[in-house]
């Protein structure tokens, strides 16, 4: 995973509530068996005026000029400012993959759907939940040339006016993100505890170990 420490970057505003993961990356792109290459199809149905298909060359597709990411002043934005319950719906990790592949590193919103939030943090994408008033204030400030600094170490956002906004993140998630650490390696440090639990569980709830599914004929 790509470590995250600090960025100063352009901010793209997307003021809609309940942006779902179907909107972030439509289903036809989920047929890919890779983790990369989703960026050109991010927000596909809002970004383009025709229907997207996997492996399409997006350079020649008609753009929806009204959509925020198509406005030149927001090109290269690495911070997405969004509405409440961002990332709701399907658990598809293709959503953070698409956001990250497009170039986003941070999403700021009043709230996130739980699965999406967890998925972001596994992909070097930092979801920051601020309260409604703070997000509203940022929406009022954002515009062409507007940049924010996001520092994970100190857990602060700094506005161009020097205002510092603290944000919350679990210590363990912060640690993993700062160091770009693989969760599996960290968990496997507890392999003995997992094995011990499994032995205990096999005793307490033997019915859970009665059927070895892999033994059934394929």
Partner 1 sequence: MISLPFPIDLNAATSGFPVAAMSPKTLYDKLWDEHLISRAADGSCLLYIDRHLLHEVTSPQAFEGLRLAGRKPWRVAANLAVADHNVPTTERFRGIDDPVSRLQVETLDRNCAEFGIKEFAMSDPQQGIVHVIGPEQGATLPGMTVVCGDSHTSTHGAFGALAFGIGTSEVEHVLATQCLVQRKAGNMLIKVEGDVGRGVTAKDIVLAIIGRIGTAGGTGHTIEFAGSAIRALSMEGRMTVCNMAIEAGARAGLIAVDETTLAYVKGRPFAPQGEQLWEQAVAAWKQLVSDEDAVFDKVVAIDASSIKPQVTWGTSPEMVVAVDAVVPDPADEADVVKREGAKRALQYMDVHPGTPITRIYLDKIFIGSCTNSRIEDLRDAAAIVRGKTLAKNIKQALVVPGSGPVKRQAEQEGLDQVFIEAGFEWREPGCSMCLAMNADRLEAGERCASTSNRNFEGRQGYGGRTHLVSPAMAAAAAIHGHFVDVRSI
Between residue 174 and residue 203, which ones bind partner 1 under the rule CB under 8 A? Answer: 175, 179, 181-184, 186-188, 190-191, 193-194, 197-198, 201
Of the candidate residues 9, 28, 70, 103, the single one contacting partner 1 (CB under 8 A): 28
CB of 153 to partner 1, least distance (A): 12
Please give the size of the binding site for partner 1, defined by CB under 8 A: 72
Contact stretch for partner 1 (CB under 8 A) within 2-10, 79-87, 142-150, 153-161: 79-87
Considering only residues 152-171, where is the footprint of partner 1 by CB under 8 A?
170-171
56 binds partner 1 (CB under 8 A): no
30 binds partner 1 (CB under 8 A): yes
189 phi and psi angles, rounded to 5 deg: -65, -15
Antiparallel, parallel or unpaired: β 147-151 and 79-82:
unpaired
54 binds partner 1 (CB under 8 A): yes
Inter-residue contact 77 to 145 (CB < 8 Å): no
23 binds partner 1 (CB under 8 A): yes
37 binds partner 1 (CB under 8 A): no
26 binds partner 1 (CB under 8 A): yes
User: In 10 A of CB 173, how many CB atoms?
Assistant: 17
Nearer to partner 1, 6 or 15 (CB): 15
63 binds partner 1 (CB under 8 A): no
Of the candidate residues 7, 56, 115, 137, the single one contacting partner 1 (CB under 8 A): 115
């Amino acid at each position: 995973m790509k470590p995250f420490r600090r960025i100063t970057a352009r901010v793209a505003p997307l003021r809609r509530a309940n942006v779902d993961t179907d909107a972030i990356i439509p289903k036809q792109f989920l047929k890919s068996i890779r983790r990369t290459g989703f960026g050109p199809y991010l927000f596909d149905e809002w970004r383009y005026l025709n229907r997207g298909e996997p492996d399409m060359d997006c350079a020649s597709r008609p753009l929806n000029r009204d959509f925020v990411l198509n406005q030149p002043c927001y090109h290269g934005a690495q911070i997405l400012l969004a509405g409440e319950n961002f990332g709701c719906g399907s658990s598809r990790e293709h959503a953070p993959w698409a956001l990250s592949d497009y170039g986003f590193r941070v999403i700021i919103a009043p709230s996130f759907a739980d699965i999406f939030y967890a998925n972001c943090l596994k992909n070097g994408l930092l979801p920051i939940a601020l309260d409604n008033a703070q997000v509203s204030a940022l929406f009022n400030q954002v515009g062409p040339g507007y940049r924010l600094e996001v520092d994970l170490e100190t857990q602060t956002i700094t506005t161009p006016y020097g205002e510092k906004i603290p944000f919350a993140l679990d210590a363990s998630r912060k640690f993993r993100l700062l160091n770009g650490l693989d969760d599996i390696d960290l968990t496997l440090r507890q392999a003995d505890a997992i094995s011990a639990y499994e032995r205990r569980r096999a005793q307490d709830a033997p019915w859970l170990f009665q059927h070895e599914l892999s033994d059934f004929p394929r």
